Amino acid sequence: MTAATHPATVDLSALPPYALALKERINYLPEAQVTRVMRAFQIGAQAHAGQERKSGEPYITHPVAVASILAELGLDAETIIAAILHDTLEDTELSREALAGEFGEVVAELVDGVTKLDKMRFGTRQEADAESFRKMLLAMARDIRVILIKLADRLHNMRTLGAKDQGSRRRIARETLEIFAPIAQRLGMNKFKAELQDLGFHALYPDRYRVISERIRAALGNRREAMGKIEAALTARLQADHLPALVVGRIKSPWSIYSKMRGEHKSFAQLMDVYGFRVVVDSAMSCYMALGMVHALYKPVDKRFKDFIAIPKANGYQSLHTVLLGPFGAPIEVQIRTAEMDSVAESGVAAHWAYKTESGPANSAQARAREWLSSLV
């Protein structure tokens, strides 16, 4: 069937720039799926026509941004379509039947699931209640993709929080720190978690955020030279042994410093007095070789080595962790992993729903992820 005679063909010239950008971003999907996604955009834009965000932009820019965030994780067409339509049941005339008729039962179920989660309100500040509320959310979403859409929705709302009044900003920020960042963490979605935490911290305690960020910047200035020297020494050692590797320095985020100062009663200086590096190599075997090489370069600290490659964390995280005694007296924390392990470390359970051309392995990974999810709740 040629594009010209395809019944669901989308007129590209009629698309606004943000929809074209989304189309570009989902180019990992087969053409027929891309057409379905763009059809979802047209239906969503029609349904939200006339509605605006607090910022004055057309409302549809929000669900499109949510879909784009999920497209960055390479998620399947159902998830992207449901993300575009995630607010239609709540805020427009579209019915569940209409969604199921147009896009199938899976998409309708996902949108319905997000709508139900949105109706749950979290009011209290008690830690124990936050925990049971998180469990309830996870249990309610029978399909983990509902949670992925909800987390992306929250991430975009946090990125655009400035348009809201101060009361709403604080309420949303607190809920983000107490409910959604911990859920992202539990799902192994570390990149989402870190951004949710820092946006939440910034919105809830702007002064503390500013003070800590400035101190981090100052501390980094002082130690830039030491960081550079250690990085060069690690790189040179791996190169001398002919192991292709990428060595990157890691910097702690304002929220992680702040929460450790409070939770572990450590001083800012104690927390900053550690160097962090990540070594990315091409295979699991290379990880162990790299470990031997860095241990030969700097003496490892006793009992600080962890092998999460042989024994992965429950959420699939894999990496070797070790701590070295560095040349400047401060300990050096090193994580060693493959590029694939690195992407699982960043996107966690979402990596299992990435679109794959051959369906076999994806399905077994999804089954494992489902099993793991049901063990959580």
Compute the least distance from the CB of residue 357 to Mn ion, in Å. Answer: 30
Nearer to Mn ion among residue 87 and residue 195 (C-beta): 87
Nearer to Mn ion among residue 62 and residue 337 (C-beta): 62
Q: How many positions of this chain bind Mn ion (CB under 5 A)?
A: 2
Distance CA 315, CA 250 (A): 22
Query: Closest residue to Mn ion, Cβ-based?
Result: 153
Compose the 38-67 pattern: x for residues touching Mn ion by CB under 5 A, - for all others.
Answer: ------------------------------
Identify whether 90 is a catalytic site residue: yes
CA neighbours closer than 13 Å in the CB half-sphere of residue 130: 13
Instruction: Give the list of residues 6+ apart from residue 353 with CB closer than 8 angstroms, or none.
Output: 73, 75, 76, 79, 144, 145, 148, 366, 369
Distance CA 156, CA 131 (A): 23
Find out whether 295 and 304 touch, Cβ atoms under 8 Å: no
Compute the least distance from the CB of residue 155 to Mn ion, in Å. Answer: 11
Identify whether 91 is a catalytic site residue: yes
Compute the least distance from the CB of residue 180 to Mn ion, in Å. Answer: 13
Nearer to Mn ion among residue 34 and residue 69 (C-beta): 69
Nearer to Mn ion among residue 87 and residue 109 (C-beta): 87
Helix, coil or strand: residue 44: helix
Nearer to Mn ion among residue 25 and residue 53 (C-beta): 53
Query: Which of 39-47, 121-129, 150-158, 247-255 is the region at the interface with Mn ion (rule: CB under 5 A)?
Result: 150-158
Compute the least distance from the CB of residue 200 to Mn ion, in Å. Answer: 17
Contact flag: residue 87 with Mn ion (CB under 5 A): yes
Helix axis angle, 17-25 relative to 31-47, nearest 10°? Answer: 150
Find out whether 306 and 320 touch, Cβ atoms under 8 Å: yes
- Indicate left, alpha or beta for 317 from its phi (over 0: left) and psi (-120 to 50: alpha): beta
Query: Which of 84-92, 142-150, 214-222, 254-262 is the region at the interface with Mn ion (rule: CB under 5 A)?
Result: 84-92
Choose, from 90, 105, 129, 214, the residue flagged as catalytic: 90
Nearer to Mn ion among residue 153 and residue 344 (C-beta): 153
Instruction: Give the list of residues 6+ apart from residue 90 with CB closer than 8 angstroms, or none.
Output: 115, 118
Query: Which of 151-159, 241-249, 283-291, 352-360 is the region at the interface with Mn ion (rule: CB under 5 A)?
Result: 151-159
Query: Among 13, 83, 376, 347, which residue's Cα sits nearest to residue 194?
Result: 347
Compute the least distance from the CB of residue 118 to Mn ion, in Å. Answer: 8
Compute the least distance from the CB of residue 102 to Mn ion, in Å. Answer: 20
Give residue for tokens 């159902």. 78
Contact flag: residue 153 with Mn ion (CB under 5 A): yes
Counting every residue written for the chain, the total comes to 377
Question: Which residues are tagged catalytic?
Answer: 90-91
Catalog residues that contact Mn ion under the rule CB under 5 A.
87, 153
